[in-house]
Amino acid sequence: MLLKNMGRTVLVLATLSVIGCGEELDTKELTRGDVATQPLASARDTRRDAQLSTVREGSGYRVAVDGVERAFIPIREPSNTLFAAVTPDGATAALIPDHDTHHGDGLRILDVASGELRMLFQGPVTSAVFSRHGARLAYAVETRDGASVRLGTATSAGRTLGELRGRQVELLGFSTDGRSLFAVVYPDRQDDGTYAPSLVRMSTANGEATAILGSGLVSGERYSDIRLVRVNGQDRVSYIRSSHQLCIGDSELRLATTDGYVVRSFRPTTGELYRAAAWSPDGAQVAYAVQKCPNKSGIAADRESAIAEQAKGTGVFVAEVASGRETRVVDGIPGATLLGIEEGVLRFGTDREGVESLDSKPISAGTQSELGAASLLKADAHAEAVIQGLTNRAIQINQVYDTRDNFDGRGSCGPTSAVMTMASYQLGEWGIWVNYGGNHYSPYGRYLTDAYSYNGTSFSYTEPDYSGAGAWAGAHGWVYSACCGAVWADLLSYLNRHTGWAQQHSWDAAWIQGELNRGQLVAASGGMTSAGHIILIKGYTTDGRWIVNDPFGVNTSGGPGGGDQIYTTAYIRPSQVWSN
């Protein structure tokens, strides 16, 4: 059954982490790959930390600590979110409003008991973490070359501890003894290199930074979902190791010391991609979201059987680490993020819909069926109606503002919607830096215009852009035609070259809802503009509207953004749809 809970801090960045965890381990006790004897956690260490949750309502976010609403934080931009962290005792929260996935506009401190809110630091703050006992507060302020990491308290902005170079810097937390601070850092180079995170440890005494895990093209290693966790009373780093070539090579869950020495790994697997992982505090269980890669030859032989086999291996599982026995508890990849597991109870959360818990024990015992991914995180009855219904996870890409500076993407709504579909669960990041609309990183921008190969197909055909300039490959070259815009058959072909199970269908609201209920995404063509337009439908509301990622900006105005728009069928004026 679902247990309604307000979970531990929900971070709105790509790398979710449990903050304020861990305890320094004497690494002399270990050699790489060894398993150390774990000391028992003390009574002080086993206390239950305060749990924080945020829920989007209207023009802002409701902030709750241990299930009690404590503040309402307005948000200026509809597509922005709220970063929130809380001290273990629940007395103080750090809030970064209007977070655009890179940074917010400042760091505010909330006194939980009184509800008093005050500004601690004004500037582009990326993330913030409290120490284990809440006495210290660290936060990262975005700079031209990375981030300035500052060390202070809830009442003092503090001092600059050091600088970290990187296009994105996200703080994970302190070691228990407070001597170390951990951060995930993305590459600092403005080129088309692989954009994968690395883990860095900073000394809180002198700011000296040491690389612990480093994703790299030379090594062929790619690390993701890096978290600072506490297992058997000790600091541990949880992460996913995989090949840079997704769906080629293996994918593995790992648990390491804060020096990077692997102490435990779980089930290297080929043909599957781990998406997220959470280890129980005693290390006995691991919960993970995994997606089975499509079997191209199997789809050609028996499409329906291959799709069923792929779906069977995709979902959220709970496994006993010692025996490897695993149980699927969620069918499909939920839009909510897997936050943790303790005594068989999993926590899922999003910044917009709060946190819920799922007790896996009845499912493992066979007395309860697994849940569908869409069954998680139903919005509260008193939340804004537009977020009720169902919303699948989908990447937002703007066809003009998230593509190469010299590419005129005004006619590329079809290719962009197709890439949004694939990027949401199939493609790894392959990005570019874009100056148009303000210097920013576009994680999936290269797929629109650059040649690449996937699943045996080379997407190297070229077409000029909307202005008739250039020869652009990728999704644009495959789907777009200079005479006519997006070619429907080519859009279907692009999707099927990645998965093999895409379908084209006339508009049918019940059919579309059924596809969304299965966890699919639906691209739709319509008459939203005089030239026609294609968008991506990711969900629906209980009052019959559609939750949309629009590649041409808010309300098809051609502006930046465009994610999480609420459109009526009358506004879309639909004709054809494609499910994948």
Question: What CATH number does residue 14 fall under?
Answer: 2.120.10.30
Same-domain pairing of 353 and 218: yes
Q: Looking at the DSSP assignment, which residues form a beta bridge with residue 492?
A: none
Residue at 35 is within a domain: no
Q: Print the domain residue range for 415.
A: 409-579
- The C-alpha angle 83, 86, 92, rounded to 5 degrees, equals 115
Same-domain pairing of 423 and 551: yes
Residue at 567 is within a domain: yes
Residue at 31 is within a domain: no
Length of the chain: 580
Nearest to 263 by CA among 30, 18, 39: 30
Q: Looking at the DSSP assignment, which residues form a beta bridge with residue 229?
A: 236
Residue at 19 is within a domain: yes
Residue at 397 is within a domain: no
Nearest to 394 by CA among 496, 521, 292: 521
Over its C-alpha atoms, the chain yields an Rg (Å, rounded) of: 23
Residue at 33 is within a domain: no
Task: Name the DSSP class of 321.
Answer: T
pLDDT score, position 579: 86
Same-domain pairing of 357 and 444: no
Residue at 45 is within a domain: no
Q: What six digits make up the tokens of 409?
A: 């993407």
pLDDT score, position 216: 61
- Alpha carbon distance 299, 498 (integer Å): 11
Same-domain pairing of 486 and 521: yes
Contact 399, 409 (CB under 8 A): yes
Same-domain pairing of 510 and 474: yes
Measured over the CA atoms of residue 227, residue 232, residue 235 and residue 241, the dihedral's sign is negative
- Alpha carbon distance 577, 417 (integer Å): 11
Same-domain pairing of 479 and 535: yes
Same-domain pairing of 328 and 447: no
Q: Which of 387, 421, 451 corresponds to the end of one domain?
A: 387
Contact 112, 92 (CB under 8 A): yes
pLDDT score, position 157: 96
Measured over the CA atoms of residue 51, residue 159, residue 238 and residue 370, the dihedral's sign is positive
- Alpha carbon distance 50, 311 (integer Å): 36
pLDDT score, position 27: 27
pLDDT digit string (tens) for the chain, length 580 residues = 333 222 222 222 222 222 122 222 222 222 222 222 233 333 334 457 888 999 888 888 999 999 899 999 998 876 578 999 999 999 999 999 988 767 899 999 999 999 999 999 999 999 999 999 999 999 999 998 889 999 999 999 999 999 998 877 999 999 999 999 999 987 654 333 345 678 999 999 999 999 998 866 445 677 888 999 999 999 999 999 887 555 666 789 999 999 999 999 988 777 787 888 999 999 999 999 887 776 656 666 776 777 777 778 888 999 999 999 999 999 877 767 899 999 999 999 877 778 889 999 999 999 999 888 767 764 443 334 334 578 888 889 988 889 998 898 888 999 999 999 988 877 888 888 887 666 778 889 999 999 998 878 899 999 998 888 889 999 999 999 887 788 888 898 999 888 888 888 888 888 898 888 888 899 998 877 656 789 999 998 877 788 999 998 655 555 567 888 888 887 787 878 888 8
What CA–CA distances, in Å, run from 17 to 148, 251, 293, 344, 516? 20, 20, 26, 19, 29
Pairing of strands 326-331, 371-372: parallel
pLDDT score, position 6: 26
Q: Which of 328, 353, 387 corresponds to the end of one domain?
A: 387
Same-domain pairing of 372 and 445: no
Same-domain pairing of 168 and 278: yes
pLDDT score, position 554: 54
Q: Which of 356, 387, 418 corresponds to the end of one domain?
A: 387
Residue at 36 is within a domain: no
What is the tally of structural domains in the chain? 2
Q: Which amino acid is at 465?
A: D
Contact 85, 78 (CB under 8 A): no
Measured over the CA atoms of residue 326, residue 330, residue 334 and residue 339, the dihedral's sign is negative
The residues, any chain, with a CB within 8 Å of residue 358's CB and separated by 6 or more, are 2, 3, 329, 330, 345, 346, 347, 348, 371, 376
Same-domain pairing of 383 and 420: no
Same-domain pairing of 68 and 194: yes
What CA–CA distances, in Å, run from 425 to 414, 476, 579? 18, 20, 14
Same-domain pairing of 260 and 350: yes
